[in-house]
Amino acid sequence: MKTIDELLAEGVKGKRVFVRADLNVPLAEGTITDDGRIRAVQPTIAKLAEAGARVIVASHLGRPKGAPEPAFSLAPAAARLGELLGTDVAFATDTVGSSAKETVAALTDGKVAVIENLRFNAGETSKDDAERGAFADQLAELADVYVGDGFGAVHRKHASVFDLPERLPHAAGQLIATEVGVLKKLTDEVKRPYVVVLGGAKVSDKLAVIDELLGKADRLLIGGGMAYTFLYAKGYEVGISLLQKDQVEKVKEYMARAESTGVELVLPVDILASTEFPDLKGKTPADYTIVDADKIPADKEGLDIGPKTRELYASKIADAATVFWNGPLGVFEHPDYAGGTRAIAQALVDSDAFTVVGGGDSAAAVRTLGFDENAFGHISTGGGASLEYLEGKTLPGLAALEG
């Protein structure tokens, strides 16, 4: 996989360099609420611009259905990128149409432009190779060189991720190189004890990674909505908590495997439970009780791990040499149910381990809760991509850059 430093050594001055970034940032009424992904790709873009490249930045945002949707415009991301770079960033209002062509043609050496949301074109995500390839052909006309730096999308076989680098000389950006290096420390070069903390809503989203980690991790700490399927599998009452009954047998199998292989699989011992899901927008005070994990009332829903579990999990992290965390431990968006997620983040900060926060909601939670990003070994920009790498899958975007 060619690196951006190798590309820069060859010279990019005057060349049109297409950077597939991940600017898929959360928006609230058009305002960016977490710019972490933009800040993560900014160093690659800055390097190229400083070397005299004419930089064309492209990304998806959200899940539009192959046609323009104003709510998913990349305009706010382009504006924020300009602020971070300290320079004007041009913005094209389409992907491969007249605005994109004119905007790219107007670029001069060292200048940057962002084109509109790639998913406004159906060819970007098409399952049909020909349709996807046709869109990649149009994108290729805009550029001379391709740089892949959208780690959050490398697990997608999309036109800008998989097909476009086949059509242009290509290299991996600084962010992708960093992400892959970190993931190797979680797979090929692991220092032990190796502790994995898994949260999030659905256990079905994590089955494949649990399957893989049962042969690699020393401890698995389970929280979030997915924990209630594990607790149910142990025969506990979980009330109206999130539960995937169709996954119970698989979860039982995993618990048995963990026991037989000596992997410590740790479940919550107490829970914050309420009769209703909290109002996240108004953030009105929560009405909850703390109950033992095997005594959740039939009319209540578990919404966070309790104080005993927080202490237990912190103790399981304290002596770790490597920690990977993916998924919040509760409904962290509400301050009264953020305690479990905050406790995990603090345990990582307090540990002497190499700590990796696995993207998505976990990364957003760390920033929302006010932690210094530099206190962690690495905060990934790609939750789904990180998990699929750990599952041992071939990621299309990485395979394309290696070709």
Quote the mean pLDDT of the chain.
95
State residue 112's pLDDT score: 98
Taking the CA atoms of residue 185, residue 190, residue 195 and residue 199 in that order, the dihedral angle to the nearest 10 degrees is 30
Computed over its alpha carbons, how large is the radius of gyration of the chain? 22
- CA 366, 368, 371, 375 dihedral sign is positive
Predicted confidence band of residue 382 (pLDDT cuts 50, 70, 90): confident
Where is average pLDDT lowest: 25-34, 38-47, 49-58, 131-140? Answer: 25-34
C-alpha 27/C-alpha 258 separation (Å) is 40
Write the CA distances from 341 to 204, 310, 346, integer angstroms. Answer: 20, 9, 9
Paired with 57 in beta bridges are: 19, 114
What single-letter amino acid sits at 109? Answer: D
Which residues 6+ apart lie within 8 Å of 160 measured at CB? Answer: 20, 58, 60, 118, 124, 136, 139, 153
> Burial letters for 203-223: b for 16+ Cβ neighbours within 10 Å, e otherwise?
bebbbebbebbbeebbbbbbb
C-beta separation of 254 from 211 below 8 A: yes
pLDDT: is 384 or 271 the higher one? 271
**Does the pLDDT at position 360 exceed 80?**
no
What is the model's pLDDT at position 381?
86
Q: What is the Cα–Cα distance from 308 to 322, expressed in whole angstroms?
A: 23
Q: pTM of this prediction?
A: 0.89
3-state secondary structure (DSSP) of residue 12: coil
Residues with a catalytic annotation lie at 37, 202, 360, 384
Mean per-residue pLDDT, 276-287: 90
Mean pLDDT, range 35-53, rounded to an integer: 96
Q: How far is CA 196 from CA 239, 302, 377, in A?
A: 27, 22, 14
- Token pair in block for residue 126: 């098409």
Count of other CB atoms within 10 angstroms of residue 166: 13
Residue 344: pLDDT over 90: yes
Quick one: pLDDT at residue 364?
86
Label the pairing between strands 54-58 and 112-114.
parallel
For residue 302, is pLDDT > 90?
Answer: yes
